[in-house]
Amino acid sequence: MEPFDGGASNPWHVFAHWMAEAEQSEPNDPNAAALATATPDGTPSVRMVLVKGVNERGVRFFTNEDSQKGTELLLNPRAALVLHWKSLRRQVRFQGDVSLLSREETDEYFHSRGRRSQIAAAVSLQSRPLASREQMEREAAELAGRLGDAPVPLPERWSGFLLVPRVIELWADGPDRMHDRVQFRRSGEGWLGQRLYP
């Protein structure tokens, strides 16, 4: 199947269609993505994150600013991110600049999560050493007890990030390694697409 019909001038249209299909075909977390960051001297690192919203502004995800990825993004606000859907044999790559979301947008998402997830995020000193799982469970239970039925406060260093892509690349599996690969580069308010050898 030619995967780019009807959306060749706008990669967001293709992405939305592919994501909708992935939500039906992927057994777990169709929004899981590999996020690559780097220190200011160029040392890279990569990990899986859950994408929590994609539109023509960019790609949203959330983390603690003091985590490794948060620290690296604040010092070097550029990233690359890829979603790979094994069930569909497709992937989408994003490269661009990263900025912090507003506290209002972050707070709205934080409080849309389950209460236990909120508490876990509130007690986690993400990426720092932890003596044992029991310590984290104890801290979560203590916070839950202190709060009672009160809302979980948004942790001060827990933030949303927006990757604003300069490049979006769409890849779809084809027979005999004749894959479809189209790269879009931002051009003013629009996008310029170029088919690439796979």
Phi and psi angles of residue 196, each rounded to the nearest 5 degrees, phi first: -120, 155
Tokens of 180: 């479809």
Cβ(65)–Cβ(120) under 8 Å?
A: no
- For residue 189, what are the contacts with CB-CB under 8 A and spacing of at least 6? none
Residue 139 per-residue DSSP state = H
Report the catalytic residues.
177
* Spatial separation of the C-alpha atoms in residues 2 and 179, rounded to whole Å: 10
Residue with token string 């027979």:
175
Phi and psi angles of residue 161, each rounded to the nearest 5 degrees, phi first: -125, 150
Tokens of 72: 């690296």
| Cα atoms found within 13 Å of the Cα of residue 150, Cβ hemisphere only | 9
Total residue length of the chain:
198
